[in-house]
Chains A and B, each alone.
Chain A
Amino acid sequence: MQQRDVTLLMVIVVLTSLAAWVVWPGNSGLHIHFGPINVDRDIQVHRGLDLQGGMQVVLEADVPDGQQVDAAAILAAKVIVENRVNGLGVTEPLVQLASSNRIVVELPGIKDPEQAIRTLRQTGLLEFVDAGGTFLPAGTIVKTSFQEGGEFGIETPTLAPTATNTPLATATLTPTATLVLTPTEPISPTTTIETEPTPAPTPRTRVFRTVITGKHLEVAQVGQDEYGRPQINFQLTEEGGEIFAAYTSANVGSYLAIAMDGEVISCPRIETPITERAGRITGDFTLEDARNIVIQLRYGALPVPLKIVQNRTVGPTLGQDSITKSTRAGIIGVVIVLLFMLVYYRLHGLVADAALIVYALVSFALFKLIPVTLTLPGVAGFLFSVGAAVDANILIFERMKEELRQGKRFSSAIQAGFRRAWTSIRDSNLSTLIICAILYWFGSNFGATIVKGFAVTLFLGVLVSMFTAITVTRTLIRLLYAIGGENARDSKWLIGL
């Protein structure tokens, strides 16, 4: 038995050192490049909004009461909101669906919450933009004629005057039309679309010509080309079809950038004139890409209007203040507990303290690794679970004391103590775990990450505490008595009898 205990002790020491390394604030992170395993992660504490400062909003589909929200529509809305959030430049934003008609958005560390809200709710603008001979990679921000002045369509005077409601088309015969098919650009005769790495110019100052907008798009769907690769089929409205026919006839070989809210999402090249209102986009994209593009094509605007039903903003000063104060409070509390255990249980208390320190390190390391987002109640939950961890040790010691009072030998007292205490520990902690599960469900339905954070930290804390009680405490006690032998029994005071 002693050999096994020593081995376990080694394992515990290694585990604790690893945990301590993870917990250490300045650690370098996880960088493993070994064969197929490629891990590159920074290990830091993930702070919740109330500790970092930031904003959380819950958007709800704004439909008349009782009307069901189409699942596809809310999913599409989420994707669109997510794109906009990504454009805000926030590190680690979060966009999630919460229940069937709500989207939760979290923006940690955002500087201008008001602006962010406006951005999220704006309706999307889809444009097909004449990029001429320039391939614009996805993500390029472009200024377009429609954005600048509401102008679209083609500007060549050969435009057949069919479009009765595009009076702007004629008004664009201004010499300031900066969109020019730069003749020096070589138009390579390849027939693939979208995979050409021609360098993009700086589209920032150019104002691109909007050919048609999302209003002119009737249908968009994912299909397959003759090789089985994904392609996007689309169909335009009558008006759109006419403009498009004229445009593509005059511009075979040019690039046509598709932009959403001014950002290019795709840039296919025109192969042949599209005169029947229906066309397709083929290229080197995955099914996933195709689907995403189709979503954005179909739902140029948000498919459902969104209203804000919940808004929580925490300023950064409050967040920092909370961290400092709760760290201090936590340390004070834990130190008092350590001292108390030492005084009340003496030798066993020392063992409990060691186990507690291991417990705290391992728990916190888990929080950093998984990662678990720490909120202020989450920190409170962690500290509370320290109390629960102590409880397991206390249960074990009280049992052991009873066995020893009855005169049993140490080895059997230890064994009996642990065995009898385990049922108590297991059943009582199980009820806490159940409560945590319920709290987690409650929290996720409302984007109340505060509640969720508490549930997760308490849950993990209880689990780890059960583990450390059984392994760490038991190993240390066994070793202690194996070394000290029955001599310790004479010093009744030391073992707290």
Chain B
Amino acid sequence: MTDIVGKRYWFFALSALVILVGLIGMIISASRFGSPLRLSIDFTGGALMELTFEQPVTPEKIRQIFGDRGYGDTTVQTTSDERTVVIRSKELQEGEKAIIQAELTNEFGPLTELRFEQMGPTIGREVTRSATIAISAAALVIMGFIIFAWRKVPHAFRYGVCASAATLHDVLVTMGAFSILGLLFGWEADALFLTAILTITGYSVQDTIVVFDRIRENIPKRRGEPYELIVNRSILETVHRSLATQLNAIFILVAILFFGGSTIRQFVATLLIGLVSGTYSSIFTAVPLLVIWEKGELGGFFRRLFGRSRAAP
């Protein structure tokens, strides 16, 4: 039988690598923008305007118009073509929007406002705070739920913790990837990003639970077998289902990614990354963690790690 659990350290290494790359991205982001991810106005406050003109426009000129009215820190990006721009600026005072749009019309001709969003600064702070609460609450509730549902299994606490660790892994991977995409393509985290993260959390746990459920069932059935074996068997028994489900979800999300509207493209892409990570972590992170906990390898692992570096001259 294929030994997944035996090769667990390889899988840990892979996870560590991916997360590390993401962490580097987040650190670069933090030094450049002051936070590990680019934040949209949902979190920072400010104004966002998406306009489409009838002829191509120059972002420089638009920036200048904003600057002349006192909104210096403005970014202008063209999106799908040269005629549509997304403008991010500080909060616009009352009446300013009309004046600026009039000037833009003077300069470039008629425009259509596709969307406009404006957030005061206090709301931004509150959203950040609520976001943190939401994520922490989700993590705690789910951990408690798993511990409760697995209470008949010895060491139920471990299942809760390992499932949460796998979920944390997914969140880190997704955040890291998003941070890199933010550096490369200017993606910004908004309320939808938070929604995606929470959904990924839910999905990751869902996936982990299916494997854990199988373990829960196999333990009384196969007494006498070493834990490692039971667990490995459980993984193999559920792998078909994991792959099939993931493929289906990927089909749908990819379809939306390619054929759906541009406004949720980032949202769907984030979900995709988290989805793949979620399935990976259920098999290659959560379960191996259970094993090393059971075998008490954790202490030994760290001892070896630090012992080796101490031994080096």
Contacts and interface: CB of A to CB of B under 8 A. Distances in A.
The answer to whether A and B come from one shared complex is yes
B255 A428 contact: no
Interface string A332-344: 1110110011001
Contact of A448 (B191, B240, B268): B191
A315 B264 contact: no
A113 B237 CA distance: 57
B14 interface: no
Main secondary structure of the interface of B (DSSP, over half): helix
Contacts of A333: 251-256
B114 A315 contact: yes
Interface in B192-219: 192, 194-195, 198-199, 201-203, 205-207, 209-210, 213-214, 217
B59 interface: no
Nearest to B256: A329
Nearest to A324: B261
Contacts of A383: 252, 256
Contact of A309 (B123, B206, B217, B251): B123
Given A308-B120, A395-B241, A340 B248 contact: yes
Interface of B: 50, 97-98, 112-120, 122-123, 126-127, 130-131, 134, 137-138, 141-142, 145-146, 149, 191-192, 194-195, 198-199, 201-203, 205-207, 209-210, 213-214, 217, 237-238, 240-241, 244-245, 247-249, 251-256, 258-261, 263-264, 267-268, 271
Given A309-B120, A328-B259, A446-B127, A377 B192 contact: yes
A438 interface: yes
B213 A376 contact: no
Nearest to A436: B202
Given A308-B118, A428-B210, A435-B198, 6 more contacts: A309-B123, A310-B120, A330-B252, A340-B251, A438-B141, A454-B195
Interface residues of A, number: 71
A169 B258 CA distance: 71
Contacts of A391: 206, 241, 245, 248
Contact of A329 (B50, B117, B255): B255
Contacts of B264: 322, 326, 376-377, 380
A455 B205 CA distance: 17
A351 to B, nearest CB: 15
A427 interface: yes
Given A326-B261, A333-B256, A315 B194 contact: no
A168 interface: no
18 contacts: A58-B123, A60-B122, A312-B117, A318-B50, A318-B115, A329-B256, A330-B252, A332-B255, A380-B271, A383-B252, A384-B271, A395-B241, A402-B237, A427-B213, A434-B142, A435-B142, A439-B134, A451-B192
B294 to A, nearest CB: 22
Contact of B126 (A424, A441, A446): A446
A432 B206 contact: yes
A435 B259 contact: no
B247 A340 contact: yes
Contacts of A307: 120
A387 B117 contact: no
A311 interface: yes
Nearest to A442: B134
Nearest to B259: A329
